[in-house]
Each structure stands twice: as C-alpha cells, then as structure tokens.
Amino acid sequence: MRALLGVAMVLAGLCACSAAKQEPEAADLRWAETSRPVDARLAERYERACMACHAQGGSGAPLAGFTPHWKPRLRHGIDQLVRHASDGFNAMPAMGQCNDCSADDLRALTLFMARSGT
Ligand code: HEC
C-alpha cells in the first residue's frame, strides 16, 4: 500500500512538472552565461567551479537563475541543497569541484544560482 502511494505521488509530481515551464529559453541561457555573484571572491569561485555545469543548458545540472529548475528543489529547504552541494548528490560532485569553498561560500553560491539571495 505504501509503495502504491509512493508511485502515485511520483506520478502526480511528474504531471505537475510537465505542466510548468521547464525548458530554458535563450534569455535564460544568456542570464546564466553572463551573471556572476556581486562579490568578486565568490564570482571567481563560481567561474572556476560551478559555471562549467550550472551555466549551460543540457548538462543535467539546474541552470543558474532559472527558477523552474530551482523551485522544486528549494521546497526541500536551502539547508538540504547546501548539504548536497557539500557532500555531492548524484552527478553533482562533492563541493562542486571547489575545494577551497567554505560552507558559507557554498551557501552563497547556491543562493545566487537559485536567485533567492545575494
Ligand atoms: C561537474 C558538474 C557540476 C559542477 C562543477 C557543479 N555542479 Fe552542482 N549540480 C550538478 C548536477 C548534475 C546537479 C543535479 C543533481 C541531481 O539533481 O541529480 C547539481 C545540483 C546542484 C544543487 C542542487 C542540489 C539539490 O539538492 O537539489 C546545488 C545546490 C548545486 N548543484 C550547487 C553547486 C555549486 C555551489 C557548485 C560550485 C561550487 C556546483 N554545484 C558545481 C553538477 C555540477
């Protein structure tokens, strides 16, 4: 019974997703390519690490600044997102390949990409 409920919830989730705007348009891709955190030190880390995957479409990573990619993730809370950035999560490498990023840096970079802070 619990398994069935799980399947139903997954299906309901898929339906909700396909109804929403999912594919980034040219303007969304441009925002991701050209935007940087305001803080220069963070911007340098962002360019060196996160951008390779998060600033282009089709990489499997949620696109920086593209709300439809971040909103469902943000529902789990910013702490979980930052923990996944730090520990790794599926194809998301631990620390996002930024070995000199502090926990605060990862949080700020995540907030920047989710456009819900900095
Ligand atoms: C090698 C490619 C790659 C790099 C570099 C990378 N990411 Fe990711 N990231 C991914 C992928 C792929 C996902 C999606 C993982 C999934 O949902 O299965 C992801 C997901 C995330 C998530 C969402 C986690 C969640 O719980 O949904 C956060 C936050 C994140 N990345 C932060 C960062 C930060 C910050 C950096 C730079 C310090 C970074 N990433 C660098 C590939 C990358």
pLDDT, tens digit, 9 for 90 and up, residues 12-70 = 555 454 445 689 999 999 999 999 999 999 999 999 999 999 999 999 999 999 999 99
Instruction: Check residue 118 and give its pLDDT.
Output: 43
CB atoms within 10 A of CB 38: 9
The mean predicted confidence, pLDDT, of the chain is: 88
The owner of tokens 């399947």 is 7
Are 78 and 84 spatial neighbours (Cβ–Cβ below 8 Å)?
no
Q: How far is the CA of 8 from the centre of ligand 1 (A)?
A: 27
CA nearest ligand 1 atom 12, residue: 61
> Residue length, the chain?
118
Q: Is 52 in the pocket of ligand 1 (CB under 6 A)?
A: yes
Ligand 1 nearest atom to the CA of residue 98, by list position? 38
Q: Which two tokens stand for residue 44?
A: 């340098």
Instruction: Check residue 32 and give its pLDDT.
Output: 97
CA nearest ligand 1 atom 32, residue: 85
